[in-house]
Chain A
Amino acid sequence: MTLTPALQRTVDDFQAMEEGDRLQLLLEFADELPELPQRYADHPDLLERVAECQSPVFLFVEVDERVHVHATAPAESPTTRGFASILAQGLEGASADEALAVPTDMPRLLGLDRVVSPLRLRGMAGMLGRIQRQVRERAAAR
C-alpha cells in the first residue's frame, strides 16, 4: 500500500498547512480540474456516475501504458471537483499497479476531517474505489 509520488506530494502539501488553509488548497484543486477531452465530452454515456458523492460526478479511466483519469463535476460542486482533481492529478501517468497500490483510505491522509467533515470525505473514498475498479477492468482487458 503506497501512494504515487504525485499523491504523496499532495498529502505533504495538505499536511504542511494550517488546518484552516487546507480548504483554500482544495479550492485550488477544484479550479484546476481539467476539462474533459472532447471524445468524452461528446460521449457522456462513456462516463460512470459516482453514487458515493453528494453531487453528480462522472469519471472515466483510460489505461494504455499508463493510467489517465478523466472526471467532470458541476461548478456548483467544488468540493467534489477538488476531490476529483486531486485523484486525477495524483494518478496521472502512474502504472496500473501503482494506481491499485493506493490505499482506499487515502482521503483521510489529507487532514480534512475537521474542515470538510468525515461524511463528505467518504465521497472521495468512493471515487477512488471506482477509479481502481476501472483500472483493474481496463488493465485486464489489455
Chain B
Amino acid sequence: MTESEPRFAEYAAPDRLVSTAWVAAHLDDPDVVIVESDEDVLLYEVGHIPGAVKVDWHTELNDPVQRDYISAEAFADLLRRKGIGRDSTVVFYGDKANWWATYALWVFALYGHDRTRIMDGGRDAWIAEGRELTREPARRPAVDVPVVERDDRTLRAFRDDVLAHLGRPLVDVRSPEEYSGERTTAPAYPEEGALRAGHIPTAASVPWGRAVNEDGTFRSRAELEAIYLDGAGLRGADDVIAYCRIGERSSHTWFVLTHLLGLPGVRNYDGSWTEWGSLVGVPIAVGAEPGEVPAR
C-alpha cells in the first residue's frame, strides 16, 4: 500500500494517486517501478525521472497485426523485459495531464495488474518543481512474470456491447466539435478520422480535459462530482461506457470515474469513434444534443 497524501483522501480510491514528492522519495524503492507513458515517443529520451522505464502505448501495447492489445504472452514478456513484477507497485506518469499514462494504466488493468498508481500532475508537475531529470535509460533487472489472460469483459466494451447498452449512461469525452459532428477528427489529429461525424446516440458530452486543473492535477472530488454526477447525470450509475476517438482520452475519464469517484462498472470502449463512425449499420447522432435511443 502507498500511504496517500492528505489531499488525496477525499477520492474514492486515494491510493490510486501519488504525489511528485512521494515518487521522489521512492526512487530507490525496489518494490516501486516508475513508468513514463507519453503521447510524444521521444519525450522520455529528452529527459525522464531517474530510474523510470518507458512504456510506449503505440508501439509496445498494441498488437502489430490486428487492432487489439498485445497477447497475454507478449504482455508478460514486456513486463519481464521492463523489470516490472506482478507484485510491483507501478506508478505511471506522462505528458499532457497524464492522458497517455492513464491509457497505459487501463491496459495494465485489463491484464489484472492492479497495483497501479498515477503521479498527479504528470511529467509537467515534476518539471515545474525543478526535480531531477536524466537522459540515462533505466536498466532494471529482468523479472519472472506469469502469463495472465486478459479480461476483456469487465473494464472494456466492444461495439456490440455499446449497441446493447444504448439507453444506459454513455459519456463522449471528445471535443465539442467532434461530438456535434462539425469535424470527424480531434483538433490537430486529422489522421485519426472516421467516415461519419457525430456521436453515439444518447451520449453525454464531457470533454476529458475538464477533469484536470490548469497544472494537470486532478480536480477536487466536489468539482468532479459536479461535472460528472450532476452535469452528465451519472449519480448512482453502475454501468457506464466512456469513449473518445481511439480510447485514450476515455481511459483518462475511466480513471476519474472509477478510482476518483468510485463508480462501479465503468467500461472503456477503445474502438471508439474511429470504429463507430465507420461501422456499417449503426446509428449516430449529430448536433449538440445527445439524441434518442434508436427504435430497435
Contact B191 A123 (CB under 8 A): yes
Contact B188 A116 (CB under 8 A): no
Contact B191 A52 (CB under 8 A): yes
Contact A119 B58 (CB under 8 A): yes
* A120 CB contacts on chain B under 8 angstroms: 41, 58
Residue of B nearest to A27 (CB): B45
Contact A79 B190 (CB under 8 A): no
Q: A114-B59, A120-B58 are in contact. Are A78 and B188 (CB under 8 A)?
A: no
Q: Does residue A117 face the partner (Cβ distance < 8 Å to B)?
A: yes
Looking at the complex, which one of A23, A51, A78 makes contact with B190 (CB distance below 8 Å)?
A: A51
**What distance in Å separates the Cβ of A52 from its nearest Cβ neighbour in chain B?**
6
Total interface residues on B, CB under 8 Å, equals 18
Within 8 A of B (CB), among A17-42: 23-24, 26-27, 30
Interface residues on A, range: 20 to 34
* A53 CB contacts on chain B under 8 angstroms: 188
* A116 CB contacts on chain B under 8 angstroms: 41, 58-59
Looking at the complex, which one of A56, A76, A117, A122 makes contact with B41 (CB distance below 8 Å)?
A: A117
Q: Does residue B114 face the partner (Cβ distance < 8 Å to A)?
A: no
Q: Does residue A46 face the partner (Cβ distance < 8 Å to B)?
A: no
**What distance in Å separates the Cβ of B84 from its nearest Cβ neighbour in chain A?**
19
Q: Which of B46, B56, B189, B191 has the largest count of A CB atoms less than 10 A from its CB? A: B191
The B contact surface, by secondary structure, is loop
* A55 CB contacts on chain B under 8 angstroms: 40, 188
Contact B42 A78 (CB under 8 A): yes
Looking at the complex, which one of A27, A52, A114, A122 makes contact with B46 (CB distance below 8 Å)?
A: A27
Residue of A nearest to B59 (CB): A117
Within 8 A of A (CB), among B37-91: 39-43, 45-46, 56, 58-59, 64
Once the chains are docked, how many angstroms separate the CA of A119 from the CA of B39? 11
Looking at the complex, which one of B43, B56, B64, B190 makes contact with A76 (CB distance below 8 Å)?
A: B43
Q: A54-B40, A117-B59 are in contact. Are A78 and B192 (CB under 8 A)?
A: no
* B40 CB contacts on chain A under 8 angstroms: 54-55, 76-80
Once the chains are docked, how many angstroms separate the CA of A55 from the CA of B39? 10
Q: Does residue A109 face the partner (Cβ distance < 8 Å to B)?
A: no
Q: Does residue B270 face the partner (Cβ distance < 8 Å to A)?
A: no
Q: Does residue A115 face the partner (Cβ distance < 8 Å to B)?
A: yes
Residue of B nearest to A52 (CB): B190
* B189 CB contacts on chain A under 8 angstroms: 54
Q: Does residue B95 face the partner (Cβ distance < 8 Å to A)?
A: yes
Q: Please give the residue numbers on chain A whose beta carbons come within 8 Å of chain B beta carbons, in ascending order.
A: 23-24, 26-27, 30, 51-56, 75-80, 82, 114-117, 119-120, 122-123, 126
| 20 A-B pairs whose Cβ atoms sit less than 8 Å apart in the complex | A23-B41, A23-B45, A24-B45, A26-B42, A30-B42, A53-B188, A54-B39, A75-B46, A76-B40, A77-B40, A78-B40, A78-B43, A78-B45, A78-B46, A79-B40, A116-B41, A119-B58, A119-B191, A120-B41, A120-B58
